Structure 1
């Protein structure tokens, strides 16, 4: 059986200050981007409108495509190339066009197709995919996605509260909240379109991150029951992380490999999901070590235990259980 990273003695927790600086800098960059460019880039599913993926037989002049749509009454459409030089996506989200979806979901898409056929000739433009969503449906989907994230977060909180001592639970919840916040910053910084598949990725990340932290905290809880002469909680955390490192490396590598395969080989529709999942695997690994651990140390220093655990013994002996300096 393959055995990697067994019996390691890496000191993870001592780098907590650097981790805080990196996290705060990344989140601040995301907040600045929100302030400068506005909210997230919602997909047609949430805003309403029409999305079409088209393929031209020859590389088109984008300005000609835009003027053709403008003449047909499709004003302000977003035209973006993806994949090959002949493949483009067209998004029509003008308020009047979105309202027209309520009358007939295929109305705008047929209008776009007729305009392109008239300009480039019938048969020279292939329609690969069409999505048309009315304003009411888009609003309902957006509300449903927000509710799904809220419910998932609530059940995760309840599970952690039942599973762990409140100190561990609070640290795990804050670490998971960190992951969601950093992921939203990533989505904004890299202008990833938020669709139902991206919401699915965020919900998956929510469970994945919590599970990763639970694995480490379970080992910490087991180690607290064993005699550890002269060990502070920080050193006990390092030991627990090292003991779970082989499992973590294999799990994260497997998930990341599958996600990267989707990122490279899957189509345009699934790519935002793959981006968020790939980033989420890295963030979940980071937070379970450098966010959950230091937060637990801080909580334990403020509210020490009244039992015979290693933490309580360290506190009674006057040992420092706060996050160590670098």
Structure 2
């Protein structure tokens, strides 16, 4: 027996005091996923997504203050004049504000408020641009094709390394994660900007990693199956053999992402929130969905 890898289900149960048969309860995991995904999908069709100016267009104001300022002060000033937008701060003085399309009088009101409540700025650095929705449409189109290409390459790679049914199970888990993230953003109408696209692509790549680790253990154990062993028991054992690794990995990543979400400022809120949801969902789908989908597909193909 390889050190650290319990060979029997009884040994797995002994090592993990919280052990329960994950595979036999697979339909409950599928139902739980649907309870999260279905409201989100309905919300997408009924109220859509809360798109930021990167997608629907707006006004972008860039300026440099004469003294250091804080992001909180700029954000509070935006709210004081009845505006909502994204604020990016660099070098402590350079400010980039993205908000809905503003008429000239509203722009002047905002600039005056910034001078009064935050700090004076160098007029030479002031730049006001109107952003159209075409940039967001191009970004969405490229992101869509990136996902399609990534999906095709992942199917080819997993099919080559394992089997085609493994690839289908892995893609099902990835679609689960994307639907969870997009659905929750629609359901709660959290704003979506260009960083959300980056988060979605990152989640797509990150989530498959843990799934492949579990698949690798399933393939290894499948070759060691003895007469009387069932495929369900073997997959359940494989999931539990990699459980500590899966849990330790996701907890470490979630701690880092939560720190970024709390301390990173407004400019990183969308990215870190999407990543928090996606990483948690990815850990869940890797343990409770991908391998269970594999068992279900293999059972029906027999």
Decide: shared fold, TM above 0.5: yes
What is the root-mean-square deviation in Å for CA atoms of aligned residues? 3.3
Q: How many residues align?
A: 266
Check whether the contact 1:50–1:92 (CA below 8 A) recurs between aligned residues.
Answer: yes
Distance 2:43 2:247 in 1: 33
**Deviating runs (4+, > 6 A) in structure 1?**
56-61, 127-131
Distance 2:206 2:72 in 1: 36
**Residue 99 of structure 2: SS of its match in structure 1?**
strand
Q: CA deviation at 1:90?
A: 7.0
Check whether the contact 1:160–1:173 (CA below 8 A) recurs between aligned residues.
Answer: no
Of 116, 120, 143 in structure 2, the residue corresponding to residue 123 of structure 1 is 116
Distance 1:269 1:173 in 2: 31
Alignment partner, residue 108 of structure 2? 114
**Residue 59 of structure 2: SS of its match in structure 1?**
strand
Alignment partner, residue 24 of structure 1? 34
5+ residue gaps, structure 1: 67-77, 83-88, 98-107, 305-326
Alignment partner, residue 234 of structure 2? 236
Greater CA radius of gyration, 1 or 2?
1
5+ residue gaps, structure 2: 5-11, 62-70, 88-96, 122-126
**Residue 11 of structure 1: SS of its match in structure 2?**
coil
Check whether the contact 1:216–1:240 (CA below 8 A) recurs between aligned residues.
Answer: yes
Check whether the contact 2:60–2:98 (CA below 8 A) recurs between aligned residues.
Answer: yes
- Aligned 1:1-326 pairs, distance under 5 A: 7-8=15-16, 9-37=19-47, 39-50=48-59, 55=73, 62=80, 65-66=81-82, 79=84, 91-93=99-101, 112-117=106-111, 120=113, 122-125=115-118, 133-304=131-302
Higher helix share: 2
Q: Deviations over 1:260-306 (max 9, x none)?
A: 111111011111111111111211111112211221112111223xx
Distance 2:111 2:208 in 1: 51
User: Residue 81 and residue 40 in structure 1: after superposition, are their counterparts in 2 closer, same or farther (change >3 A)?
Assistant: closer
Distance 2:283 2:200 in 1: 15
TM-score (norm 2): 0.76
Q: CA deviation at 1:26?
A: 1.4
TM-score (norm 1): 0.71
